[in-house]
Structure 1
Amino acid sequence: MKKLLSLLILLTCSVTAFSQGNNYEQNYKKYEGLALTPPMGWNSWNKFACNVDENLIKEVADAMVASGMKDAGYTYINIDDCWHGERDSLGFIHPDPKRFPSGMKALADYIHAKGLKFGIYSDAGSQTCGGRPGSRGYEFQDAQMYASWGVDYLKYDWCNTEGLKAEGAYKTMTAALQKAGRPVVLSICEWGNDKPWEWGQTVGHLWRTTGDIYNCFDCIEDHGTWQSWGVMQILDKQEGLRQYAGPGHWNDPDMLEVGNGMPANEDRAHFTMWSMIAAPLIAGNDLRSMSKETTDILTNKEVIAVNQDKLGIQGFKYASKDSLETWFKPLDGGKWAVVFLNRSKQPQKVEFDWKNTPVTDELSKRELNASKTTYKLRNLWTKKDVGNTKKAFKAEVPAHDVVMLLLSSK
């Protein structure tokens, strides 16, 4: 009898443990069907850092519509660090009541009513980079709050993460978002330290490949224990990563600095190269007071179309000589984007013989062979047709600037 009783207890415990195991099983895979092209939007950090409040965010949302950026494809209004207030007695996070007195749900409703989407920021550590409450230990509660507010995008940072392993920490937040039940784009922001391109495809929709950008074309800003990188430095750090990018999973070289102090030629080159490497186009300037030059750069639909091409193939550097680089990007429908990037401080002449220079991309198994197919040429910044590939292309590329062409056979 004792043996039978012991057996029944053992079976009961086993069934209970098994059922609990099923109840607590986690889904560590991101929401599918999101970010099938590189995300486009705006983030508060590059221009405003911690100086954020609900009036600013509403005004930026208004400006995104009024400026034509929404019509050009920009979708997300993302609040970065420092929106946080305190956690309540149950551990749920709330926004700073002075900065966001109406609450995040009301702000999300305002943004959604304009046909835009709402993004927010948190951190895998105990505190955010700005010293606000991080999500470590509160991932599932935070995800529930975000879902209740109507959040569509989460930038998840990597400050104050002592002892954590990046892949596991980001999988925890992915599971929390899945449990909350609202599809959210997850932006992995651990600065490329743990090679997120190797494990991030199933966990998030984009991952930072480097440390922070800052508004300089070709320089490094030294903070002592860490560094910020200029546009060209970050571009160089994308070498060897293109095979990891594609629909729903993107290399993220950080947000745009267009409109934050660089001259128009450098902004144009910056925007062009981010478009060529299929980078997320997340503006970081003050949309309320843009110059016409800045607006024209950010809303050039022909350049944006290169970035948003449905094949999602990241462009590649084909050649480099005397600070003049030649880049190619295969596009849908047999088209190609070609950029001549002048990294020097002097104008550079370019001459490219299409018919005698076939280009093969081993990654995408695509070939540009002008000896077999004649392509029409269109300059995407002047928005003018400039001949075809029957004869060599000649141009002068201004200092710190680009010439960007679309090649199409139809």
Structure 2
Amino acid sequence: MSANNSPQVRSPPMGWNTWNAYSWNVTELDVRNAADALVETGFRDAGYEYLVVDDCWMAEELADDGSFRNHPENFPAGIADLVDYVHDRGLKFGIYSSAGTETCAGHEASLGNEQRHAEQFAEWGVDYLKYDNCGDHRDRDAIDRYAAMGEALERVDRDIVYSICEWGNNEPWRWGRNVDGHLWRTTGDILAKWKRSEDDEFGLGVVDIIDEMDERDIAGYHGPNGWNDPDMLQVGNGPDSAQSQSEGFTVDQPFREAEQRTHFSFWCLFAAPLMAGNDLRELDETTREILLDEDAIAIDQDPLGIQGTRDETDGDREVWSKRLAGGECAVILLNRGDEPVDIETSVETVDLHLPDDVGSYAVTDVWSGEEWTTDGSLEATVDSHGVAFFRVGAA
């Protein structure tokens, strides 16, 4: 059976990834504790079902036969034992490798050993593979390298979700499905910040990624069983997160609450994969409230799987929308500026796909839960770097 027909990718995958919280220093105890926390905090029941162990789970060098070895100090019990622990808690297990000779942390990776590694992943019970783009590519182009792992995963007797982490360098939205991918990174790495300070700075802020998702005109390639991925969530992170500390990024101030709500709102409007990366040991109420918001998650997981797009721009004021199942739509009013502003639009002037012959429309504010009816006008006072996030349908 083709993995692209697997029912588990009919909606954008949701889960939690170790990288932002632990970076290079992740251990099997961290993963076990995260599995317990995902259950205890309600994340699993909200839909965050994949626990993905990112880079550094493996020994620095492959075994003589080309197979992976677990890191002897940090993962002494081995991956199969860890997979069982995660599965026993009603979660699915994800693992990491790279389509080059080395991972981004410099450990030997999968190029040339795709079949052996796919077989190991299946033997261990892995459910999800994040496949990065680091290391020497040996003059093989991206499609060839990612197809090799896609074909290997197809040959094993286990459905494994295939996440192509190619950073958008070679337009993977055009060929991701053809190499049996289920989601593909469309941008560079995200930082826990609003915007990068310099054009040549490594990493992107939230608003940088929002712009790239629109400017690359990729919404048409996105939908059930093939998802545009704007990278992991940084909600709950900041200058002290392991990623910010260990990779030399310039993250010099806390992520404001309004910016984090904007971040999550747009990932839901995009129908993006939702991979949290906050430190679950220090889960504050704001982070919990944002990441577990049922109305926002429902928009992300809407069965139509449409990626939202920008409709209007007026200086720092922007209007975005997407169609939802059941004749409804989602709308974001974005304020890029440094002061609160009033933003107005209407059903008639944005691409909402709503019937225009009804007398009134029902509006729900996603973040406050407030409900009201309107004759078609949509407006709000929006905080600096914040959003108003609405669900709209015929009353």
Establish whether TM, by shorter chain, passes 0.5: yes
Give the share of equivalent positions with the same residue, in percent: 43
Please point out which of 100, 103, 106 is paired with 2:78: 103
Tell me if structure 1 keeps the 8 A contact 2:311–2:351. no
Cα-to-partner distance string for 1:299-352 (whole Å, 9 max, x where unaligned):
001000000000001111110112111111100000111111111111010223
The aligned counterpart of 1:178 is: 154
CA–CA distance in structure 1, aligned partners of residues 321 and 354 of structure 2: 10
Please point out which of 141, 146, 169 is paired with 1:165: 141
For structure 2, which runs of at least 5 residues remain unmatched after alignment? Answer: 239-254
The aligned counterpart of 1:268 is: 261
Matched, 1:384 2:360: no
Instruction: Output the TM-score relative to the length of structure 2.
Output: 0.91
Tell me if structure 2 keeps the 8 A contact 1:377–1:408. yes
The aligned counterpart of 2:171 is: 195
What does residue range 142-291 of structure 1 map to in structure 2 within 5 Å? 142-160=117-135, 161-202=137-178, 203-220=180-197, 227-239=202-214, 240-261=217-238, 262-291=255-284
CA–CA distance in structure 1, aligned partners of residues 273 and 288 of structure 2: 18
TM-superposed CA distance for 1:370, in Å, is: 4.2
Deviates more, 1:87-96 or 1:268-277: 87-96
The aligned counterpart of 1:88 is: 63
Matched, 1:352 2:329: no
CA–CA distance in structure 2, aligned partners of residues 30 and 150 of structure 1: 19
Which secondary structure state, in structure 1, belongs to the residue aligned with residue 24 of structure 2?
coil
> When the two structures are aligned, how many residues end up with a matched partner?
374
Tell me if structure 2 keeps the 8 A contact 1:31–1:184. no
- Write the letter of the residue equivalent to 1:137: G
Task: Name the Cα RMSD after superposition.
Answer: 1.8
CA–CA distance in structure 2, aligned partners of residues 55 and 343 of structure 1: 41
Matched, 1:57 2:31: yes
Tell me if structure 2 keeps the 8 A contact 1:358–1:370. no
Which secondary structure state, in structure 1, belongs to the residue aligned with residue 364 of structure 2?
strand
Tell me if structure 1 keeps the 8 A contact 2:355–2:394. no
TM-superposed CA distance for 1:383, in Å, is: 1.1
CA–CA distance in structure 2, aligned partners of residues 391 and 122 of structure 1: 49
TM-superposed CA distance for 1:234, in Å, is: 0.9
Tell me if structure 2 keeps the 8 A contact 1:30–1:186. no
Which secondary structure state, in structure 2, belongs to the residue aligned with residue 50 of structure 1?
helix
CA–CA distance in structure 2, aligned partners of residues 373 and 114 of structure 1: 49
Please point out which of 60, 66, 77 is paired with 2:40: 66
Going from structure 1 to structure 2, the CA distance change for 1:353 and 1:124 (only over 3 Å counts) comes to: closer
Tell me if structure 2 keeps the 8 A contact 1:250–1:279. yes
Tell me if structure 2 keeps the 8 A contact 1:221–1:228. no
Which secondary structure state, in structure 2, belongs to the residue aligned with residue 238 of structure 1?
helix
Going from structure 1 to structure 2, the CA distance change for 1:220 and 1:184 (only over 3 Å counts) comes to: farther
Which secondary structure state, in structure 1, belongs to the residue aligned with residue 45 of structure 2?
helix
CA–CA distance in structure 2, aligned partners of residues 146 and 273 of structure 1: 33
TM-superposed CA distance for 1:28, in Å, is: 8.8
Cα-to-partner distance string for 1:48-77 (whole Å, 9 max, x where unaligned):
211111000111111111111111111100
The aligned counterpart of 1:317 is: 310
- Write the letter of the residue equivalent to 1:76: Y
Which secondary structure state, in structure 2, belongs to the residue aligned with residue 228 of structure 1?
coil
Which secondary structure state, in structure 2, belongs to the residue aligned with residue 42 of structure 1?
strand
Please point out which of 333, 338, 350 is paired with 1:340: 333
* Bigger radius of gyration: 1
CA–CA distance in structure 2, aligned partners of residues 405 and 227 of structure 1: 33
